[in-house]
Amino acid sequence: MISMTLADIAATVSGELVPAAGDGPDTVVAGTVDTDSRAMTGGDIFVAKPGAVTDGHNFVDTAAAAGARLAIVEHTVEAPVSQIVVTDAVAALADLAREVVARVRARGELKIVGITGSNGKTTTKNMLARILEGEGATVAPRNSFNNEVGAPVTMLRVDEDTRYLVSEFGADRIGSIARLAGLVTPDLGIVLMVGLAHAGGFGGVEATQRAKTELVEAVRPGGVAVLNADDPRVAAMAAVAADRGVAVRWFGRSTAAEIRADDVEVTAAGTTCTVVVGDERLPLRLQVLGEHHVMNALAAITAARELGVAPAVAIARLETLEIAERWRMQPLGSERVRIINDAYNASPDSMAAALRTLAQIAEPGQRKVAVLGAMSELGESAGEEHDRVGLLAVRLRYERIVVVGAEARRLFLAAVGEGSWDGEAVFFASADEAFDYLRGELRDGDRVLVKSSNSAGLRHLGDRLGESFS
């Protein structure tokens, strides 16, 4: 974070300063801001966020012992650290992020990119950050820091030297993206797709579209919206952009896109395609597995071009990216038994894409094994969408379909109903049971996909399998 006095921070978050011994209103702090006391080092700022499971106020003393110089709290705590008392710690975190980014931006160098979409946000964020790091100091979220806490924490890593801020915006309700993007009014907004991810929380895909449109509405007038030309719901956002004086740039697979991909091929070594930009045809060789990541790459290349990075330069930097993120199409195990751990998140679209990817990269004689858990937050669509995944796995001729967890049982029943019987489809209530089965079932040459929503916890099963077969 940039340097600010305790008095300045207190005024920014509308809080009351309670200085520790030796500190005063003019004391300057400039450390990292976080809600995790374990992340504190000398000079940092700890935000004591109340939570459903635990209360950050219980860890103020721990943060102080680790070196925190300031705690933002909702009530004072007996701890040897200066404190600013606020009404709402999460709101204070947002207020501080807004002010810090505004001060850095006022110096004229900072460019801000916002990314949203039902799938692909984290991968696109990592791709764009890899491109922009070659141009100047770049701040991007760790993992999937895209909610009301993670997004401001990322913004607060901006300092005087930062040239690019790449923010990822998730949403659990209408208004979430508007609130988060409104903290920084991006110069450029990327909308990847509108799908059924989290549709249960929104009340349907139309409401999801409305939520994602909030990013286009938050882009500053004169800025740019980078939109998926292949998704009609995203393409419809061009009208909103025009009303706001925001230019539109298109990416996709169709000829309607300004930057598009031809000749896509997926292998066990990665994904290749030809990126078409006007009359240029540029080869791209991604180490990241999966045809669906081509769209994320196109979005990143398109955004980078608007920020002054030539597509050929962007492509060269993308080719150095080894994985999208931990637990996202992450190769584990060995050539003997290859595990693809993609169990950080799941939606109907991403589940289908992952299943198709493994089917594409498996060679003749290699068994395809799908280890599948529940997709969360699908609301009334949950049953039908789990049915579709079970049917797809059978139609892609997976030799083993291993379904884990009661919430995914309907997927198992759909696979059996489609003809995956006689041990081809099996069900286990727990990941431990599935691990014991797989450890004895997998054999040389098998190619294994582990895929579920984060809440199903199969990412840890994927890690165990990877270690077991390394």
Q: Residue 314: name the closest of 303, 295, 301, 333 by CA.
A: 301
Angle, nearest 10°, between helix axes 382-395 and 409-417?
50
What pLDDT, on the 0 to 100 scale, is given for residue 51?
Answer: 83
- pLDDT for the residue numbered 453: 92
> How far apart are alpha carbons 192 and 43 in whole angstroms?
38
Length, in residues, of the chain = 470
| Domain final residue pick, 318, 351, 383 | 318
| Pair 382, 407 in one domain | yes
Q: Are 171 and 286 in contact (CB under 8 A)?
A: no
Q: Euclidean distance between the first and final Cα of the chain, in Å?
A: 41
Q: Exposed, middle or buried: residue 238 (CB in 10 Å: 0-12, 13-18, 19+)?
A: middle
Q: Are 254 and 388 within one domain?
A: no
pLDDT at 108: 86
> According to the model, what pLDDT value does residue 197 have?
58
Long-range contacts of 243-248 (CB under 8 A, 24+ apart): 244/216, 244/217, 244/219, 245/221, 246/189, 246/216, 246/219, 246/220, 246/221, 246/222, 247/223, 248/224
51 is in an annotated binding site: no
Give the phi and the psi of residue 454 in degrees, each rounded to 5.
-55, -40
Does residue 333 carry a pLDDT above 90?
A: yes
Reported as half-sphere exposure (CB side, CA atoms, 13 A), residue 356 has a value of: 12
pLDDT at position 134: 97
For 444-449, what is the mean pLDDT? 97
Same domain for 309 and 404, yes or no, is no
Written as six digits, the tokens of 302 are 């398109």
Could you read off the pLDDT of 225-278 as tens digits, one per residue? 999 999 999 999 999 999 999 999 999 999 999 999 999 999 988 999 999 999
pLDDT of 345 above 90: no
Q: Kindly report the pTM of this predicted structure.
A: 0.89
- The band of 283, judged by pLDDT with boundaries at 50, 70 and 90, is very high
Is the same domain home to 262 and 126?
yes
323 band by pLDDT with thresholds 50, 70 and 90: confident
Say if strands 270-277 and 259-267 run parallel, antiparallel, or are unpaired: antiparallel
- 49 labeled binding residue: no
DSSP H or E segment with residue 386: helix 382-395
Identify the DSSP state of 215.
H
The residues with which 159 forms a beta bridge, in sequence order, are none
Query: Is residue 121 located within the same domain as residue 186?
Result: yes
Residues 260 and 406 reside in one and the same domain: no
Do 250 and 196 share a structural domain?
A: yes
More confident residue, 52 or 105: 105
Lowest mean pLDDT among 193-202, 243-252, 447-456: 193-202
100 domain residue, yes or no: no
**Residue 204, pLDDT score:** 78
Residue 96 covered by a domain:
no
**Is 256 a member of any domain?**
yes
Largest CA distance in the chain: 74
Q: How high is the pLDDT of residue 142? A: 85
37 annotated as a binding-site residue: no
Residue identified by tokens 């330069």 is 313
146 has a pLDDT exceeding 90: no
Average of per-residue pLDDT across 108-122: 93
pLDDT digits (tens, 9 = 90+) for 297-312: 999 999 999 999 999 9
The reply to whether 242 falls in a domain is: yes
314 in the same domain as 173: yes
Same domain flag for 21 and 128: no
Residue in 137, 170, 174 with CA at minimum distance from that of residue 152 = 170
104 within domain boundaries: no
Asked if residue 410 is part of any domain, the answer here is: yes
- Band (pLDDT 50/70/90 cuts) for residue 202 is low
d(CA 310, CA 220): 23
Residues of the domain holding 197: 109-318
C-alpha span between 238 and 227 (Å, rounded): 8
pLDDT digits (tens, 9 = 90+) for 252-264: 999 999 999 999 9
357 and 454 both lie in a single domain: yes
Report percent pLDDT > 70 for the chain: 98
Confidence of residue 145 (pLDDT cuts 50, 70, 90): confident
Residue 345 in marked binding region: no
Q: Are residues 138 and 242 in the same domain?
A: yes
pLDDT band, residue 203 (cuts 50/70/90): low
- Domain assignment present for residue 138? The answer is yes
CATH number of the domain that 411 lies in? 3.90.190.20
Domain boundary among 53, 86, 119: 86
The CATH number that applies at residue 55 is 3.40.1390.10
**Residue 444 — very low, low, confident or very high, per pLDDT cuts 50/70/90?**
very high
More confident: 309 or 206: 309
206: CB partners within 8 A, 6+ apart: none
Q: Has residue 295 been placed in a domain?
A: yes
Calculate mean pLDDT across residues 140-147.
Answer: 85
Mean pLDDT along residues 268-295: 94
Q: Same structural domain for residues 171 and 206?
A: yes
Is 32 annotated as contributing to ligand binding?
no
Q: What is the mean pLDDT of residues 25-48?
A: 95
Q: Identify residue 419 by its one-letter amino acid code.
A: G
Amino acid at 150: G
Backbone angles phi, psi at 208, to 5 degrees: -60, -45
Written as six digits, the tokens of 446 are 């098998």
Which CATH number covers residue 230? 3.40.1190.10
User: Is 452 annotated as a binding-site member?
Assistant: no
Q: Annotated binding residue at 143?
A: no
**How many independent structural domains does the chain possess?**
3
**Beta carbons of 453 and 376 less than 8 angstroms apart:** yes
The residue among 318, 346, 381 that closes a domain is: 318
